[in-house]
Structure 1
Amino acid sequence: METCSSSSDKKTVEVGNGNDFKVHVFSSSSELLEKLHENWSSVKKKPYPAMYSSIFGGIILDPALMVIPVDDHMVHRGHGVFDTAVILNGHLYELDVHLNRFLRSASKARISSPYPKSTLRSILIQLTAASQCKKGTLRYWLSAGPGDFLLSPSGCSSSAFYAIVIEEDILQCKEGVKVITSTIPMKSPEFATMKNVNYLPNVLSKMEAEDKGAFASIWVDEEGYIAEGPNVNVAFLNTDKELIVPLFDKILSGCTVLRLLELAPKLVENGRLKGIRTDNLTVDEAKSASEMMYVGSSLPILPITMWDEHPIGDGKVGDLTMALSDLLWEDMVAGPETQRIHVPYV
C-alpha cells in the first residue's frame, strides 16, 4: 500500500505501513538546488572547477549544477563518444590530435557535432581558462542528445556536447605495477577502435585486476595476441632492445603511444634502442620481454614489473622504460608548440 501526504513546504511518499523508508518530493527548484549545494558543502577542494554544456549553452563553475539530462541517449543507451587531453603547466597537450580522434569516433558512432571543429576547440580552450586549472585533465563528450528513452536517436532534437575540467596532479610514474591477464571478453574491433562510452568491459576488467591485488589487466585477442589494457595501450622492450607495440587493427590507436613512436627514434639514434615496430605478440613472447609498460595520456608511461605473478625481466623498472618516459614527459612539459596549446588564463 502507498499513501501520499503533503504540506505547504514539502511532500513525502510513504511506502508500506508508514514505518518504511519515506521518499522526499522536492516542491521547488530552489529547494532542490539547496540540497545539491548541501551535498557539496563538506567538500573542501572542488575537483571539478568548470564544465561546459551545450544544453545550458555556456560554462558552469558551480559543481552542484554540473549535470546532464537523464533522457540523454548517452546516459541510458550509451550512444556517445569521448576523449581526453592533459592540462600541464597551463598548456593543453596534444589537444588537436585528441580532437581529431574524437570527431572520427563521433563519425563511426553516427553522431553529428552541434558545432564545427574550430568551435569545439575554442570552447575547450575557453573552458580550461575559466577553470583556472594549471594541472589536470580536460574530458569531453559528444552524445546523441536528450529527447526520449527509445533506442533510436530520431527523437533527439540535437546532439549534445559536454566537457569538464578535472583538477588532478599529473606526475611522471616511476614505480612499477602488477597486472593480470583479463578473463573479461574484450570489445570487437568495430567498437574497440572507436572511443565510445560503452566501458563496462573495461570497468569489469579493472575490477577483476583489483580483486587480485593488481593495478589493471591485459587483454588478449581471440587469436592469442596481446591487445591492450582497460584504458591504455601496452608496449614492450624485448631482449634485443626493440620497442614493440601491438598492432592497432583491433584496438584503439592511443594518441600518446603514437607520439611515443614518433619520439622513440631519438633513442635509436643514440644507440640505446635497436629498433621500433608495431607487430603481433603472443602471450609467451610478451612475457619473455625484458621490460613492459602501459602508455596513456595521464601516465604517460607506467612501468609494469609483474604479470600474472610472473616477473617481467628482472622484476624491476627498466632503464629503457624510464628513458622512454623521460622523452614523453619532456615533450609534455617543454616540447614543440605544435603539441602544446597555451591557455590564455585571465
Structure 2
Amino acid sequence: MEQGRGRQGFKHAQKYPFNEDKNARHKASAKKFLSVQARQSRIKNRIRFCRHQTMETKIYINGKILPEGKAVVSVFDRGLNYGDGLFETIKTYNGKPAFLNDHLRRLKSGAAFIGIRPSLLKQFERDIKLKIIEKLLRENGLEKGSAYIKIIITRGVDKGGHAPVKGIKPTVIIFVKPLSAKKILLIQKKGVKAVLVKGVLPAMPELKTMNYLPSVLAKMEAVKRGVFEGIFVNKRGFITEGSSTNIFIFSKGVLKTPPSRETALPGVTRKIIIELAIKAGLKVRQCNITERYLFECGEAFLTNSISDVLPLIKVGSKTLGTGKPGAITRLMQEAYAREVAKRLDALFGGIKHQTSVA
C-alpha cells in the first residue's frame, strides 16, 4: 500500500513539479485571464482608433464645435503666416485632462508675453470652465482611455505685415485624437534612444510657440537615424532639451536638468518631476549639462506631457549607464503616476487611470 501511494505521489509530482500544483494552476489561470484581458483591451483600442480615423473629427474653433471640414482658418491668419501663436498639448485619462490648470497658466503667461491681452481670451476661459474639453472628447468618442488634446491660440487674422494691426481677435482652436496607452507603456518600460542635434535651436525656448521648425527638423533627424528623439546642443556645447521633451540626468547622487527660460522650455511635466524629486529627498540641480556629463551619467530620462517619464538608454553610439532604465528613473515614473492619480481624483473623483509602468 505504501509503495502504491509512493508511485501515485511520484506521478503526481511529475505532473505538478515541486508539489506546487495549486500555485501552478492558479498562475496559469491568472496568466490566461490577463492575456484575455490584454487581447480585449487591444481590440477595443483598435476599434476606437479605427472609428476615430473614419469618423469626421469635431473641432473647437472660436467658441463653436464644428466638423473638421467646416473648422477652417483664414489664409491671412498670423499663425499660418508667421507662426505667431502658442500651443499646449495635454494628456487625458478616461475623459479627464491631466494638469489642465498648469497648462492653462503657462498658456496665459505666454499669451501675455507676446502681447495677447487676457480680455481677448474671455470666451475661451469661459468655455474651459464650462468643460468644453470634456464635451469635445465625448463628441469624438474619446471619453474612455487615453487621448491627446492640443490647444492653439494665434494672434488672429491680419492682412498687414510683420507688425500686427490693432483690433484683431485671437483664433482659438482645440482638437483631440486618440493615444495608444499600450505603446506609451512599452517605451516607458524599455526606454528610448536619441541623437544629438547641432546647428539648429528653438528661437524662443522659454515659450511654447508655433515657431516649431527647429523641433520638426530635430525630430526628422531622429526618425532618419531610427531613434525616438533629437536632443539639441547649443553653440556653447550644452545640452538643452529634446524636440518635444525635457531631459534629466542622474550623476553622483544629484538629479540634474538644464535651466529653463533661456535654455529649455519650462515643461509642465519637468516642473512636477522636480517637485516630486525634492519631496523624495533627492538633490536636484538646474545647471548646464555638457555632452561629457551626459555620456558619463549613471542614468537619464526624458519628460513630456504625453509620454510622461521615458528612460533614455542610448544617445548616438553611447550607452547611458547600464543601457537599461535606472532606479531613479523608475522612482520618478512611479511618483509621477501617483501624482497624476492623486490630482485627477482630487478634481474629478473616482477616475480609473492607467498611469503606472509596473
TM-score, normalisation: structure 2: 0.74
Percentage of identical aligned residues: 24
C-alpha RMSD over aligned residues: 2.5
2:237 alignment partner, one of 207, 220, 224 = 224
In structure 2, how many angstroms separate the alpha carbons of the residues matched to 1:220 and 1:210?
A: 18
In structure 2, how many angstroms separate the alpha carbons of the residues matched to 1:144 and 1:223?
A: 33
Task: Kindly state the Cα deviation for residue 86 of structure 1 after the two structures are TM-superposed.
Answer: 1.4
User: Which stretch of the first structure deviates more once superposed, 81-90 or 253-262?
Assistant: 81-90
Gaps of at least 5 residues in structure 1 are 1-42
In structure 2, how many angstroms separate the alpha carbons of the residues matched to 1:340 and 1:242?
A: 33
In structure 2, how many angstroms separate the alpha carbons of the residues matched to 1:340 and 1:280?
A: 36
Conserved? CA contact 1:46–1:63, under 8 Å: no
2:150 alignment partner, one of 139, 143, 152 = 139
Q: Deviations over 1:39-85 (max 9, x none)?
A: xxxx942257432111xx3112x233333222211012111111122
Letter in 1 for 2:253: K
Q: 1:175-190 alignment to 2 at 5 Å?
A: 175-188=190-203
Letter in 1 for 2:171: A
Q: 1:60-209 alignment to 2 at 5 Å?
A: 60=66, 62-113=67-118, 114-116=120-122, 118-119=125-126, 121-122=128-129, 125-132=131-138, 133-134=142-143, 135-148=146-159, 150-154=161-165, 157-170=168-181, 171-172=184-185, 173-188=188-203, 191-209=204-222
- 2:256 maps to 244
User: Which stretch of the first structure deviates more once superposed, 219-228 or 306-315?
Assistant: 219-228
Conserved? CA contact 1:264–1:324, under 8 Å: yes
- 2:3 maps to none
Task: Kindly state the Cα deviation for residue 178 of structure 1 after the two structures are TM-superposed.
Answer: 1.4
In structure 2, how many angstroms separate the alpha carbons of the residues matched to 1:128 and 1:52?
A: 12
Conserved? CA contact 2:202–2:212, under 8 Å: no
Task: Kindly state the Cα deviation for residue 339 of structure 1 after the two structures are TM-superposed.
Answer: 7.3
- 1:233 maps to 246
Q: Which has the higher helix share?
A: 2
Give secondary structure in 2 for the equivalent of 1:330: helix
Give secondary structure in 2 for the equivalent of 1:219: strand
In structure 2, how many angstroms separate the alpha carbons of the residues matched to 1:73 and 1:255?
A: 26
User: Which stretch of the first structure deviates more once superposed, 294-303 or 102-111?
Assistant: 102-111
Conserved? CA contact 2:96–2:344, under 8 Å: no
Gaps of at least 5 residues in structure 2 are 1-48, 352-358
In structure 2, how many angstroms separate the alpha carbons of the residues matched to 1:294 and 1:335?
A: 22
In structure 1, how many angstroms separate the alpha carbons of the residues matched to 2:58 and 2:286?
A: 39
Larger radius of gyration: 2
Q: 1:327-346 alignment to 2 at 5 Å?
A: 327-332=335-340, 334-336=341-343, 340=347
| TM-aligned CA distance change 1:340 to 1:258, over 3 Å | farther
In structure 2, how many angstroms separate the alpha carbons of the residues matched to 1:67 and 1:73?
A: 14
In structure 2, how many angstroms separate the alpha carbons of the residues matched to 1:259 and 1:338?
A: 17
Aligned residues: 289
